[in-house]
Amino acid sequence: MATSIAGPVFRTGTKELYLPAANITFLRGRDPHHARFQVPLWFSKMDIRDYLWHCYGVETLSTRSYVKLTPVRPLPGHTPRRWHRKKSRKFMTVELARPFVWPAEPEDLSEWNADSVQMASKEQSKFQDAQGTTKDTIVNEERRERMREQAKALLEGKTKWKPAAKTFGTEIYSRQR
C-alpha cells in the first residue's frame, strides 16, 4: 500500500514555481538525518524548504545556512595593487524528518564511458604539455643566464653594484622641475 502525502506540517510559500531557475547541488554527507546543499546566494531557508517539499515530498525540520567567503587576492598576472575576490558560495544544511541513505556507488562504470573519459583526459594533458600551456610563466633562459653571470661577478668582487640611473621617484621629481 502506497503512502500518500497529506500535507506539510509547516506553512508553505505561495510561489508557483514549475521549473526552478536555480542550480541546487546535493552534496554527499555522512549523517543520514542531515542533507547539505550548495545553493545560489539569493536562496533563502524558506526557498529550500518549499523546493524540497514540492519537488520531492521531503519534509524538513530545521535549516542552517552559511556563506563561505573566498579570500581576497591580487588578480593573477596583474600588479598586487589590483585585488579581486571570487564569487562566494552559499551552503544550506537541512535536518530531515526521515533519514536519507545514499545508494552504493556503482562498480561498473562502463555505462558512463569512464574509459574514454580517462583516455581523453590523458590526451588533453599530453597536448597541453606539447603546447607549453601548463606552465604559469614563460622563462627567458638568456636573461636568466645573464643575471646568473652578473650575480657571480658581484659575489666574486669583480664588479661593484650601483643603482639604476633612472628610478621611478627621481623620474617624477625631474619632470616637475
Distance of CA 90 to the CA centre of its chain: 12
By the 8 A CB rule, do 49 and 9 touch?
no
Instruction: Please choose, from the candidates 34, 58, 56, 44, the residue with its C-alpha nearest in 3D space to the C-alpha of residue 13.
Output: 44
Regarding predicted confidence, which is higher, 64 or 100? 64
Specify the range with the lowest mean pLDDT, choosing from 49-53, 66-70, 82-86, 151-155: 82-86
Domains of the chain by residue range = 25-96
pLDDT score of 92: 96
Q: What average pLDDT does range 168-174 have in this prediction?
A: 50
pLDDT score of 16: 61
C-alpha cell at 147: 643575471
Q: Is the pLDDT at 3 greater than 70, yes or no? A: no
Specify the range with the lowest mean pLDDT, choosing from 7-21, 58-72, 112-126, 135-149: 7-21
pTM of the model as a whole:
0.53
Instruction: Identify the band that residue 1 occupies on the pLDDT scale cut at 50, 70 and 90.
Output: very low
By the 8 A CB rule, do 35 and 94 touch?
yes
Residue type, 163: P
Q: Is the pLDDT at 43 greater than 80, yes or no? A: yes
Sign of the alpha-carbon dihedral angle for 138, 139, 140, 143: positive
Q: Is the pLDDT at 7 greater than 50, yes or no? A: yes
Which CATH architecture fits 25-96?
A: 2-Layer Sandwich (3.30)
**Is 26 strand, coil or helix?**
strand
Q: Is the pLDDT at 28 greater than 80, yes or no? A: yes
pLDDT score of 13: 67
Whole-angstrom distance, CA of residue 99 vs CA of residue 117? 34
Alpha helices, DSSP H, located in the chain: 45-56, 114-131, 141-156, 168-176
Instruction: Identify the band that residue 177 occupies on the pLDDT scale cut at 50, 70 and 90.
Output: very low
